[in-house]
Amino acid sequence: MSQCSRHSMVDVPNQAAVGVGLMIVGTLLFIPGVMPGSSPLVLASIVAAALLLTVGTYLFGVSGEGRPV
């Protein structure tokens, strides 16, 4: 079995992968909030989306070596 087939083509640290995942979920949670006539539950999802985007961006930014992005 070749080296490429056992490992990912892009070496992403686990913390960065979690950060990217949180950013994706956070972005998807914003979609219902842009619809007209949003309910209070949908508005609460916007708060959760903002929190997930913030945490995801932080995790991704500090995952690498050296100075955080």
Domain ranges of the chain: 8-61
Selection from 45, 22, 26 nearest residue 35 by Cα:
45
**Using an 8 Å Cβ cutoff, are 63 and 15 in contact?**
yes
Secondary structure letter of residue 8 according to DSSP: -
Query: pLDDT digits over 27-69, tens only?
Result: 888 888 777 877 888 888 888 899 999 999 888 888 877 776 5
Distance of CA 55 to the CA centre of its chain: 8
Location of structure tokens 């979690």? 18
Query: pLDDT digits over 1-25, tens only?
Result: 444 444 444 566 788 888 899 999 9
pTM score over 0.75: no
> Which pLDDT score is estimated for 51?
92
